[in-house]
Amino acid sequence: MGNCVFCKITKGELPSYKIYEDSDFLSFLTIEPVSDGHLLVIPKKHIVWMQDADDKTIAGIFILTKKIMKAVKIATKCDYVLISIVGTEVPHFHIHLIPRYLDDALPQFPTQKHEHEKAVEIVKKITAAL
């Protein structure tokens, strides 16, 4: 947590282009945008993985994300706003909001076809873990 760049931004130790801030959340432009308007939404509390956040934080961040998505769409005149929650580049739960255009030719997620046996096995494992 001491070296977390997002915690440093939250504390004002590093500069950022803030979009939104309240007592629980912060949103700011990313330093390596995929497109103009690409921003992040983070909880101020240091949480590494989304699944480790409490339900209140999850609900709050997604309600805020929806509000900011609408503003991004209006401001950038994009066709849609892509949400990405990968989180491997900074160990602090964060949501990417990326303005996208139907003709922007940016890469899509790589896909593959499920083999039936493999799909059945994956379903069994996940539903058992629920």
Question: What does the domain layout of the chain look like in residue ranges?
Answer: 5-129
Architecture of domain 5-129: 2-Layer Sandwich (3.30)
pTM comes to: 0.89
Instruction: Please say if 94 is a catalytic residue.
Output: yes
Distances 119 to 97, 109, 127 between C-alpha atoms, Å: 30, 19, 12
Which of 38, 46, 92, 94 is the catalytic position?
94
**C-beta of residue 48 within 8 angstroms of C-beta of residue 114:** no
pLDDT digits (tens, 9 = 90+) for 87-106: 788 999 999 999 999 999 88
Per-residue pLDDT tens over the stretch 3-35: 999 999 999 999 999 999 999 999 999 999 999
